[in-house]
Structure 1
């Protein structure tokens, strides 16, 4: 009776490359994230409560854009938080 051929040996697989990203965010990340969101919200509320006169007089609706930009920076930080 003929002998069967032995199974082929598979080459050793290389270990998966690990990401060099830190496993945890720095301690200041979460507080800064929350502060940016709150400051952006307060900026927008002050803009509406003062009938569009403050926080920076003279730039009118740009105050609204600044408030949204500050809040959006905080929200974007949430995507990188670990």
Structure 2
């Protein structure tokens, strides 16, 4: 019976981890992030203090959603801050 060809079995090498650290954010990132958080909070506070009449009178309860959306942009940036 013929013999099969021998395979070249190399040793197992584990995958290498990435050595490059993520780059830090720019100098503008933190002030913009804090700005979104403060503007969102101010928008919601203005909505409640004026009993739904302002910041935009015709939107009624949508004003609350807009304020929460602005604050969520700030929270989203907060998760990416380095």
| 1:10-67 CA-partner distances (Å, limit 9, x unpaired) | 6887753345x74201111100000000000000000011110000111100000000
Instruction: Structure 1: give runs of 5+ residues left out of the alignment.
Output: 1-9
Calculate the TM-score normalised by the size of structure 1.
0.75
Partner in structure 1 of residue 37 of structure 2: 37
Give the helix-richer structure, 1 or 2.
2
RMSD: 2.2
Partner in structure 2 of residue 17 of structure 1: 18
Calculate the TM-score normalised by the size of structure 2.
0.75
Partner in structure 1 of residue 50 of structure 2: 50
Supply the distance in 2 between the matched residues of 1:12 and 1:47 (Cα, whole angstroms). 60
